[in-house]
Structure 1
Amino acid sequence: MVEIHGECTSGFTPVREAFAANFAEGRELGAAVCVYRDGRPVVNLWAGDTGPGGAPWRSGTIAPIASATKGMVAAAAMILVDRGQLDLDAPVAAYWPEFAAEGKDRIPVRWVLGHRSGVVAFDPPLTIDDIERGTPVADALAAARPVWEPGRGHGYHSLTMGWLVGEIVRRVTGLSVGRFFAKEVASPLGLDLHLGLPAYEEENLATLVWPTPQQVAAGRRDPAFAELNSALRDPSSLLYRSTYGSVELTDGILEDVRVFRAEVPSCGGVGNAESLARMYAALIGEVDGVRLVRPETADRARAVESRGLDLVLRCHTCYGRGFMLPGGPMWPDPGMPAAFGHPGATGAFAYADPDTRLAFAYVPNRMSELIEGGDDRVLRLMRAAHACATALPAPG
């Protein structure tokens, strides 16, 4: 039996039991889960190893979080909205004039955050040198032609969303989105959460382990993923073009430390579950005197921007302003209609739920069998946390 470390309050014991069950069933290598309620941690657990034959997972272990990084970028954008420095309805070109090329002059900021801009792929694909230099990425996005009429549909901006929002943040603040996040989010909250991995943290980084072909096949057996699976094998599909076809280093994009050192704001974040949960808690309430945005701004962040058939993923998805919302196979739990967050292909998942005053995060190093997470391991943890929160009496 794997030893479970950390703390769990009595009202959330089912979360610990679900976490232990994941290990007992052989579904984990190493992982951590953290839950905040009303701005305070009620679950903070970790277990397993940092890699095959590696050191034990510790409280300070960090891991890649893949597209859960988009939640960090969305938080940065909504902080600027909260401060009146960024207008969701303003054209992106008002902040980034070069973006107006190829008919993109009327695309509002909220369409980028809501995956409606149609700017989803790089052609030619990016290299690691492009990513490290940064400017070639922004130039390519500015020159890109949308692959559908902006605003007429939505489709997951797998890699482009983070760089699009990151360039808007840079134009508004003069800081890269990674530096802005470090200054305005990570520092005041004391987070071990990074977009641009510092050298001193590399020794704490867990090693990712890919799911087996059998696990992938089992995870994608849901008929809701049938078209997605077909698109992954079709080089002409938008899903393929926006992922494998957009970067030359795809096979190692979630393992290459050069990518984590650089800023890849759609999928290059690293951190731990405690920090992710703490960030989301500060989006919906006060955490040790820090609140990132006002309640009305959090409501705007979770307002539905896009819902229905995803033109890229070819399944039902729902998005707010930079955050994924429940609905569809990526986040199938309908029991938390006010929640907003984001999963990642590494299996990471984090969200806030204003209705239950809950913030949740899970970070493993055994990657998900699904393209954007939301697998059974994390769903059982999320459902346990939700059930515990709803069973507790209201404050006061």
Structure 2
Amino acid sequence: MVDGSCRDDFAPLQSLLESHLASGEDVGAAVAVVHDGELVVDLWGGSARPGVDWTRDTICQVWSVTKAMAGLAFLTLVDRGEIDLDAPVASSWPEFGAEGKDRVLVRQVLGHTSGVPGWSTPVTVTDILDLERSEALLAAEAPWYEPGSASAYQIVCHGHLLDGIAFGATGRRLADVLHDDVMAAVGGGFRLGVPEDELSLCADLINPPPSSIDYAALPPDHFLLRTVPNPLLTPEVCNGTEWRRGAVGGAGGHGTARGIALAQSAVSHGGLVGGTRLLSEETVARIHEPQAEGPDLLLMLPLRFGIGYGLSSPSAPAIPEGAAWWTGYGGAIVVNDPTRRTTVAYVPNKLADHMVSSPRTDAYVRTALECVS
């Protein structure tokens, strides 16, 4: 039922995956661990979609783990001096300075404090797949609240904001930076925009149980109600070819646990992946600079954001102090622990009731880190 490789001291992690697949807690899933520069766990199993096994090269949408991948690619541009974290966004993307946003800083976008967590204009899935159009709408937005004063999770538009800055500064789309400068260096395994000849590798997402959030109890102008349905991204939409071919850097990335863990291990290994330096130690250190701490205005949870990543938080009890991480709707996660020189990635196709934490995902993270200890 489970295939791949697992070093003996990580056997409890393999047992956990096997038990979850046997019980139906997972239908198809993969987990990978990079420790001290070595890929010590690379496991997968179950079904990618009805009648199709999950294989070594199966890729699955990881929702907001895409944000960590987009953030990593963006930080390579920072590292090369093409973008200044402390500069106004408008210095690279002049149109973004509209409606009083001229003082919003690049690092505030990376820390979810831009003041623009979504679109006020009604948008469709087709609209947000058109990056030029949807980024222009974000540039024209008036801030929903005082930028920099708190986080309001940029639930779908985060990748659009980063792409707008990257394109303005370099003339390159962030998806191209991710593919050509990051993933090519680690042997692939993550796509922001699945090419036609790789669509057959995609696992189908399986609907989660009903949400524990009581949406009816929220005031009609709550940020969650202004963003989640605009546009509504259901598993049915995300299992479609149009969405998979798109490059929505806040939610639409598809990858293997192995590819995610290898690329992200730069953050837990001082910027190095094998013999390749993706980031300087100075840039890695900036990831851990807090940009926001406290109740998030959209997710309604106490969260801490650094630059491009979440930091340890009471809302995510499995995340160790000092880690840089993020997770995706339904349960996918990547955790970079520089203290242990360890990166853990988990990719499921069966979605759980999970925004930033849930028992299934927490068990994978805790088990992996206990094996290191």
TM-score, normalisation: structure 1: 0.89
2:105 maps to 1:120? no
19-28 or 74-83: bigger deviation: 19-28
Task: Give the corresponding residue for 1:209.
Answer: 206
Task: Give the corresponding residue for 2:306.
Answer: 320
SS at match of 1:50: strand
Give the residue type in structure 2 aligned to 1:367.
L
Q: 1:283 aligns with which of 249, 267, 276?
A: 267
Instruction: Give deviations 1:269-307, integer Å, cap 9, x for gaps.
Output: 001100000011133333332121122211111222111
Cα deviation for residue 136 of structure 1 reads 1.1
Cα deviation for residue 234 of structure 1 reads 5.2
Give the residue type in structure 1 aligned to 2:344.
F
- Distance, in Å, in 1 between the alignment partners of 2:277 and 2:335 is 16
186-195 or 13-22: bigger deviation: 13-22
Q: How many residues align?
A: 371
Q: 1:298 aligns with which of 240, 262, 284?
A: 284
2:367 maps to 1:384? yes
Whether contact under 8 Å (2:207, 2:235) holds in the other structure is no
- Distance, in Å, in 2 between the alignment partners of 1:324 and 1:279 is 17
- Distance, in Å, in 2 between the alignment partners of 1:232 and 1:322 is 31
Task: Give the corresponding residue for 1:176.
Answer: 173
SS at match of 1:383: helix
Task: Give the corresponding residue for 1:332.
Answer: 317
- Residue 24 and residue 233 in structure 1: after superposition, are their counterparts in 2 closer, same or farther (change >3 A)? farther
Instruction: Give deviations 1:36-80, integer Å, cap 9, x for gaps.
Output: 0112111111111112x3211111111001111000111012112
Give the residue type in structure 1 aligned to 2:221.
S
Task: Give the corresponding residue for 1:26.
Answer: 24
Whether contact under 8 Å (1:39, 1:282) holds in the other structure is no
Task: Give the corresponding residue for 1:342.
Answer: 326
Give the residue type in structure 2 aligned to 1:90.
A
Cα deviation for residue 231 of structure 1 reads 6.9
2:10 maps to 1:12? yes
Instruction: Give deviations 1:111-155, integer Å, cap 9, x for gaps.
Output: 111111110121222223323332111110110011101111211
252-261 or 339-348: bigger deviation: 252-261
- Distance, in Å, in 1 between the alignment partners of 2:356 and 2:207 is 13
SS at match of 2:32: strand
- Distance, in Å, in 1 between the alignment partners of 2:90 and 2:18 is 49
Whether contact under 8 Å (2:223, 2:297) holds in the other structure is yes
Q: What is the 5 A alignment of 1:266-277?
A: 266-277=250-261
- Distance, in Å, in 1 between the alignment partners of 2:220 and 2:2 is 43
Cα deviation for residue 262 of structure 1 reads 1.2
Task: Give the corresponding residue for 2:226.
Answer: 241
Task: Give the corresponding residue for 2:62.
Answer: 65
Give the residue type in structure 2 aligned to 1:49.
S
Q: What is the 5 A alignment of 1:20-59?
A: 20-51=18-49, 53-59=50-56
Instruction: Give deviations 1:199-247, integer Å, cap 9, x for gaps.
Output: 111001001101233xx4xxx4xxxxxxx54478654210111221x22
Give the residue type in structure 1 aligned to 2:289.
A
Task: Give the corresponding residue for 1:90.
Answer: 87
Cα deviation for residue 250 of structure 1 reads 5.3
SS at match of 1:66: coil
Task: Give the corresponding residue for 2:352.
Answer: 368
Whether contact under 8 Å (1:284, 1:293) holds in the other structure is no
Task: Give the corresponding residue for 2:139.
Answer: 142
- Residue 318 and residue 54 in structure 1: after superposition, are their counterparts in 2 closer, same or farther (change >3 A)? farther
The CA RMSD measured in Å over matched residues stands at 1.8
Whether contact under 8 Å (1:92, 1:107) holds in the other structure is yes
- Distance, in Å, in 1 between the alignment partners of 2:236 and 2:249 is 16
Q: What is the 5 A alignment of 1:164-203?
A: 164-203=161-200
SS at match of 1:342: strand
- Residue 249 and residue 155 in structure 1: after superposition, are their counterparts in 2 closer, same or farther (change >3 A)? closer
2:304 maps to 1:307? no
- Distance, in Å, in 2 between the alignment partners of 1:229 and 1:112 is 28
Whether contact under 8 Å (1:195, 1:268) holds in the other structure is yes
Cα deviation for residue 326 of structure 1 reads 2.1
232-241 or 287-296: bigger deviation: 232-241
- Residue 300 and residue 24 in structure 1: after superposition, are their counterparts in 2 closer, same or farther (change >3 A)? same
- Residue 250 and residue 147 in structure 1: after superposition, are their counterparts in 2 closer, same or farther (change >3 A)? farther
Question: Following superposition, which runs of at least 4 residues in structure 1 exceed 3 angstroms of deviation?
Answer: 228-235, 248-253
Unaligned 5+ segments in structure 1 are 221-227, 391-396
Task: Give the corresponding residue for 2:103.
Answer: 106
Give the residue type in structure 2 aligned to 1:303.
E
